[in-house]
Amino acid sequence: MEVVTRKGRTLCFGRPAHILHWGSVGGKKEGEGPLAAQFDLLFQENSLGAPTWEQSESDLQRHCLDLTLKKAGLSPSDLDLVLGGDLQNQCTATAYTMAKLEIPFSGLYGACSTMAQSLSLASCLVSTGCASRAVAMTSSHFCAAERQYRTPLVYGGKRAPTAQWTATAAGCCLVADQPGGPAVASVTFGQVMDFGVTDINNMGAAMAPAAAKTLLTHFQDTGTKPEDFDAIYTGDLGVVGSRLLAQLMEKEGFSMENHRDCGTLLYDVSKQRVHAGASGAGCSASVLCAHVLPQLQAGILNRILFLSTGALMSQTTFLQGQSIPSIAHLVELRASDGKPS
Amino acid sequence: MEVVTRKGRTLCFGRPAHILHWGSVGGKKEGEGPLAAQFDLLFQENSLGAPTWEQSESDLQRHCLDLTLKKAGLSPSDLDLVLGGDLQNQCTATAYTMAKLEIPFSGLYGACSTMAQSLSLASCLVSTGCASRAVAMTSSHFCAAERQYRTPLVYGGKRAPTAQWTATAAGCCLVADQPGGPAVASVTFGQVMDFGVTDINNMGAAMAPAAAKTLLTHFQDTGTKPEDFDAIYTGDLGVVGSRLLAQLMEKEGFSMENHRDCGTLLYDVSKQRVHAGASGAGCSASVLCAHVLPQLQAGILNRILFLSTGALMSQTTFLQGQSIPSIAHLVELRASDGKPS
């Protein structure tokens, strides 16, 4: 069997990499949500004791990587490469995390799509022998993101009903060339889409077309349809973006009944005052690691698609009146004992 | 022969990817420098006619990719993946370039190390069959970088003698699984180093230890030494960082006589008032594509190392008094007819 088979834009792995271990870390609001019991580690105080929110986010990542390595019984020097990034300008949350570790590092920027992106690249490298053990990792922090993208925290700006709440969370996957844990069967890298949405408080609308495009590409490349999967997880479209995705897919003849969105799973949208749901690179990362991977491991889920979606604007391009380009990367995951297609 | 052999942190490719075609684009100052005649395209007006400096930088990349594809007789749809990034917050120069093209995209952030990083990842993916044709691409723009990282352009702040001048330039490599053009024989991903340098006007000093670390790792992994290569190109350490690199390597018993730095090659340091030389992701990218690859193609150079170095701080972490973490990624390039080691 070929190591990798290219079907259109989709890469199908002959000897898939496995997610051996994983970790999830969250903050206060994540600890009050419906997935709280599934997190590895929750902090009651979002500063984690650090002097700046930016450093707090680095600490989230450090804890997440530490506990993943601990589960695996490995030390940092056992890793060939870390692939990761975050939402801070110049991806500094990840850079300062990595500065404390002597591990080769490749920094990524995919906004909230970073978890699927890092997992895709890690799977390519591990499945083909470029790495034996790689880590895919990302995070976000409400306070660091809010003051960077929107308004100072003390300003107390009113939030629009379509706005999403940036998760204070991190997720980390140890991808290895040995059996055990869910397998990454295939990946589809997304393309940047821009449908002219300029409302920074409605990212779900900006990202839905990117999610639809990547899903349709994957279905076409592999001859599959939504019903072939136990679930299709997107993140983080939120309430508004999820509705739009269903409409876009229906137009193409696909029913998205098994669709679940990480942005609507992380919080109780009706009770936690998060409006349209969760967002942030740490949203789909932590929901994957706290909620999805354990179900694949336990055999509750057998075959799923995981798509992270990212909005690629900056505060500068927003103030310049530019529209919001977006992207979605896709990973097909199977339970360890899942039947090959 | 194995598709890829891991020697320590270095990946050696059994069937190396080739840089089939490449492109380089520069602005006004680059057009007044010693490499002007070697650029594919130079603009006299750094705005390129765009309404914002950020969009001008996107246009630099677009022109660079266009002319590379034109040389290759290819269209965007012939590409499997573009790997690239830039220095703008949230890497928007690249995102807005990609929004106009229907090509799968993986965004990277490695600051000024992005060219070697994107070339490394592209080579991994192409050498192992994950992609047939991938593009590695990056850029920088003096005006977009200056106002983002330092002071408003109209402020006219005095520059320190150790400061470097951000290049207005882009470089683009078409990496393919077919013969022709220089080959990527091996790559070494760097680790993040932080030696406590906090002076944002002396990035060369912050980055030199990262370059030394990656070089030493590569030499140790492969049993090579500087004399085994026709030249070792770093970028962009500038005058100060280059001196420090020579000292650091000498301490380890290596003479760096064949070392050349993209930051000191792009401009005439003594005449163009750029103080310690050039910097910016576009610096090593454009010097690679305008100056280095043509020499490998012509057989003037046979075997070289190319390292891009990146400083991973942001304006936020700088104002918070944080030190500057840095990284360097390495690519070993050989002339098409170069003898295998």
**pLDDT at site B313:** 95
**pLDDT at site A337:** 57
Strands B10-26 and B169-176: antiparallel
Over residues A78-93, the pLDDT tens digits come to: 999 999 999 999 999 9
Measured distance CA(B324)–CA(B338) in Å, rounded: 38
- pLDDT above 60: residue B67: yes
- CB contact under 8 Å between B129 and A128, yes or no, is yes
Closest in A108, A128, A192 to B4, CB measured: A128
- CB contact under 8 Å between A192 and B98, yes or no, is yes
- CB contact under 8 Å between B191 and A98, yes or no, is yes
**pLDDT at site B337:** 57
| Strand, coil or helix: A290 | helix
> In the 8-state DSSP scheme, what is residue B167?
P
Q: ipTM of this model?
A: 0.97
- pLDDT above 50: residue B338: no
Which tokens sit at B172? 């683009």
Closest in A96, A108, A329 to B109, CB measured: A108
| Strand, coil or helix: A294 | helix
pLDDT-based confidence at residue A159 (cuts at 50, 70, 90) = confident
pLDDT-based confidence at residue B138 (cuts at 50, 70, 90) = very high
| Residue in this structure with the two tokens 């983002």, named with its chain if needed | B148
- CB contact under 8 Å between B129 and A125, yes or no, is no
- CB contact under 8 Å between A2 and B148, yes or no, is no
Over residues A115-146, the pLDDT tens digits come to: 999 999 999 999 999 999 999 999 999 999 99
Are residues A137 and A65 in contact, defined by beta-carbon separation less than 8 angstroms? yes
**pLDDT at site A336:** 76
Are residues B125 and A127 in contact, defined by beta-carbon separation less than 8 angstroms? no
Is the bond into A236 cis (omega within 30 degrees of 0)?
A: yes
The single-letter code of the amino acid at A322 is Q
**Beta strand spans in chain B (E):** 4-7, 10-26, 41-42, 81-85, 105-107, 133-140, 165-166, 169-176, 183-188, 231-235, 259-261, 278-279, 303-311, 326-334
Are residues B215 and B9 in contact, defined by beta-carbon separation less than 8 angstroms? no
A209 half-sphere exposure, CB direction, 13 A CA radius: 14
What residues of chain B lie within 8 A of the CB of A111, using their CB? 90
Over residues A229-268, the pLDDT tens digits come to: 999 999 899 999 999 999 999 999 999 999 999 999 999 9
Measured distance CA(B185)–CA(B206) in Å, rounded: 28
**pLDDT at site A181:** 96
- CB contact under 8 Å between B109 and A110, yes or no, is no
> In the 8-state DSSP scheme, what is residue B191?
B
Closest in A52, A109, A315 to B91, CB measured: A109
Shortest Cα–Cα distance, A268 to chain B (Å): 29
Which tokens sit at B229? 């290569």
Looking at every residue in chain A, the average pLDDT score rounds to 95
- CB contact under 8 Å between B109 and A80, yes or no, is no
Over residues A197-235, the pLDDT tens digits come to: 999 889 999 999 999 999 999 999 999 999 999 999 998
pTM (two decimals): 0.97
Shortest Cα–Cα distance, A223 to chain B (Å): 19
User: CA A325: distance to chain centroid?
Assistant: 17
Which of B59, B89, B194, B320 would you mutate first to test chain A, the one with the most A CBs within 10 A? B89
**pLDDT at site B96:** 98
What residues of chain B lie within 8 A of the CB of A318, using their CB? none
Measured distance CA(A36)–CA(A331) in Å, rounded: 25
Q: How many CB pairs under 8 A join A and B?
A: 185
**pLDDT at site B157:** 80
Over residues B194-226, the pLDDT tens digits come to: 999 999 889 999 999 999 999 999 999 999 999
- Residue B116's H or E segment, with its range, is helix B114-127
- CB contact under 8 Å between A108 and B111, yes or no, is no
What residues of chain B lie within 8 A of the CB of A81, using their CB? 189
What residues of chain A lie within 8 A of the CB of B109, using their CB? 85, 90-91, 107-109
Task: Find residue B12's DSSP bridge partners.
Answer: B5, B186
pLDDT-based confidence at residue A184 (cuts at 50, 70, 90) = very high
User: CA A8: distance to chain centroid?
Assistant: 23
pLDDT-based confidence at residue B158 (cuts at 50, 70, 90) = confident
Over residues B241-289, the pLDDT tens digits come to: 999 999 999 999 999 999 999 999 999 998 999 999 999 999 999 999 9
* Residue of chain B whose alpha carbon sits nearest to that of A318: B92
Measured distance CA(A60)–CA(A63) in Å, rounded: 5
Closest in B121, B189, B320 to A52, CB measured: B320
- pLDDT above 50: residue A338: no
Measured distance CA(A215)–CA(A207) in Å, rounded: 13
What residues of chain A lie within 8 A of the CB of B91, using their CB? 109, 312
Shortest Cα–Cα distance, A99 to chain B (Å): 5
% chain B with pLDDT above 70: 99
Region A87-110: mean pLDDT is: 97
**pLDDT at site B340:** 37
Closest in A98, A109, A128 to B85, CB measured: A109
